[in-house]
Copies of this chain bind each other. A is one copy, B any other.
Amino acid sequence: MISREEFTQVKEETLAYFKKANIVLTDEEIDRIEVADFGLNRINEFGLQLIEYVNTERCCAKDLVLLPHQTCPEHLHPPVKDSPGKEETFRCRFGTVYLYVPGPETTNPKATIPVDKQHTFTVWNEIVLNEGEQYTLEPNTPHWFQAGEEGSIISEFSTKSTDENDIFTDEEIKRIPVVK
């Protein structure tokens, strides 16, 4: 569980990223920025900050912020009831993002993972997203991503988000806890 002090610190950093990128949020949106530490209490290594703009039955849009070298852990979006699962497009708005998906393992990947967590990262086909570049993920595809040294801002365009259905490779991650 992230502490109040850490939450405040990370939220301030997140707001600075949005400001730098000229992304304007309403006061109501600033109040509900999510800081997710995935229950690991290692926010600077494993975490994700985001604002969700819309999430209807049919589509969803968010802007994500990653701090320098911060990693969103490996997960997938499985089929749920009548839906084939969440389809996601990641568009890099600022900085560089290293995205990993199934496929041939990239030699000398740019992202690094602490030794104690390496077993929870199983896909190592690297896709580099510079500013203005994007990638669309089919449902049910394992993926994870890490920011470069400047951190990054990513627009996520997707079908409906149902975070409670996401499946993380790391069994220590039970759900996405959010401290607000």
- Give me the interface of A with B, judged by CB distance under 8 Å: 21-26, 29, 53-54, 56, 58-61, 87, 89, 91, 93-94, 131-134, 136, 155, 157-159
Contacts and interface: CB of A to CB of B under 8 A. Distances in A.
Contacts of A29: 132
A137 to B, nearest CB: 11
A24 to B, nearest CB: 4
Contacts of A61: 61, 89, 91, 155, 157
Given A53-B91, A54-B136, A89-B53, A59 B131 contact: no
Contacts of A89: 53-54, 59, 61
Contacts of A157: 53-54, 59-61, 157
Nearest to A30: B132
Nearest to A87: B58
A26 B133 contact: yes
Contact of A134 (B53, B91, B158): B53
